Amino acid sequence: MADNKRYDSQLDEANFDTLAVRAGYQRSPEHEHSEALFLTSSYVFGNAQEAAAFFAGDEDGNVYSRYTNPTVKTFEQRLAALENAEQCVATASGMSAIFSTILALLNPGDHIVSSRSIFGSTNVQFEKFVSKLNVTVSFVELTDVDAWEAAIQDNTKMFYLESPSNPMNEVGDLEALAKLAKANNIISVVDNCFCTPALQKPLSFGIDVVIHSATKYIDGQGRCLGGAVLGSSELMEQVVGVLRSVGPTMSPFNAWVMIKGLETLSLRMKAHSENAMALATWLKDQPQVKAVHYAGLPEHPCHDLAKKQQSNFGGVLAFEVEGGQEAAWTVIDSTRMLSITANLGDAKTTITHPATTTHCRVSADARNAAGITDGLIRIACGIEDIEDIQRDLAFGLSRI
């Protein structure tokens, strides 16, 4: 296996794009070039004593694919290298990554301070399911560090935020929130789905845990579901314990798909960001549009902070039209190329109405507090030609 050692030594000082293609993989005895897909549920041991040692954790290796699989391990090690994390734990979806983190790191009676500007399903998870664990949640404005501090209680054990937020592109001050959390013995958790490590690395600002819906940009093609949790080995081993006993596990096939997605992550994020910036600039000049929410625009209130924390501004933006839901639906229904779906991170541009899709189970008061109006439309820019995206939206806007 000298070939593997040769690559390992070169990767010690490798840059992001090289790590995205080569990190975390050890070739099998078959000497394959592309990463192997290990479709197996269990593993064979040489004897009973060896089996006992592996199950007890006295030996390091594959035990059962609910929590140890070579293909999944490659994905975990590669993503960890990109996020500069000690360890990554892959999960079945982004939502299972969030819930596994809470199960692993919190206890009954604990308290979470969360940004109000989070994905609708995360909000529902907190209010309907995390509450069953006797864990309470307080919601604050993402951008107001003083509000985070004021919300801390004696039992606060976690800060949770998305940055940039879905769908308003608000940005949290990662360094300030990390310092505040550490000063109060609180675990800080950031959903890095919108940026991915290609654009932002929260751990470098002192954040403790990073979460991904790998379904989005990490896959990049809208093919399958997956999630990931990253941080120190001390914290991640607790998350592994949840996978071992509860089982929200990423399948080997999905991990294999995600591995191939990582290879082009940097290239795609540049293309998504370029298209989103061009589209946001164009939308500002359309008479039917009353506001555009994209941190890449200099007038966005979070522009300077986003520029400090991110290497680019990502592919998601939102804009508001006059006329509320009726007008927003008219725009969406009149487009002919854009995909009407709530997913994002795809090579294809997607369009959705957050108030009636991604945030439909959030109360009207909570939506309004987060700025999600009935006239708001979210666009996740794909990598098609920007002129074609604009042409399709122009037709939709003309129908209002």
Residue-wise pLDDT for 214-272, tens only, equals: 999 999 999 999 999 999 999 999 999 999 999 999 999 999 999 999 999 999 999 99
Domain ranges of the chain: 2-263, 266-398
Place of tokens 């589209």: 279
Question: What was the pLDDT predicted at 149?
Answer: 98
CATH assignment, 266-398 = 3.90.1150.10
Q: What is the pLDDT of residues 260-287, one digit of tens each?
A: 999 999 999 999 999 999 999 999 999 9
Yes or no: say if 253 and 36 are a contact pair by the CB < 8 Å rule.
Answer: no
Residue 298: other Cβ atoms inside 10 A: 8
CA distance 303 to 317: 13
Question: What was the pLDDT predicted at 6?
Answer: 44
Strand ranges across the sheet with 289-293: 289-293, 316-321, 376-380, 350-352, 339-340
Amino acid (1-letter code) at residue 291? A
Q: Which residues contact 5 (CB under 8 A, 6 or more apart)?
A: none
Q: Please list the rounded mean pLDDT of every run of 10 residues in the chain (400 residues).
A: 48 90 92 95 96 92 95 98 98 98 98 93 94 97 98 98 95 98 98 98 98 98 97 98 96 98 98 98 97 98 98 98 96 97 96 93 83 94 98 96
Question: What was the pLDDT predicted at 214?
Answer: 98
Question: What was the pLDDT predicted at 7?
Answer: 47
Amino acid (1-letter code) at residue 338? L
Q: Which of the listed CATH numbers 3.30.360.10, 3.90.1010.10, 3.40.50.2300, 3.40.640.10 matches domain 2-263?
A: 3.40.640.10
Question: What was the pLDDT predicted at 365?
Answer: 84
Shortest CA distance to 337 belongs to which of 283, 276, 392? 392
Question: What was the pLDDT predicted at 369?
Answer: 80
CA-atom Rg of the chain in angstroms: 22
For residues 205, 210, 215, 217, the Cα torsion angle rounded to the nearest 10 degrees is: 10
Q: What is the pLDDT of residues 160-175, one digit of tens each?
A: 999 999 999 999 999 9
Would you say the pTM of this structure is higher than 0.85?
A: yes
Q: What are the C-alpha distances in Å from 371 to residues 34, 191, 255, 294?
A: 45, 19, 35, 13
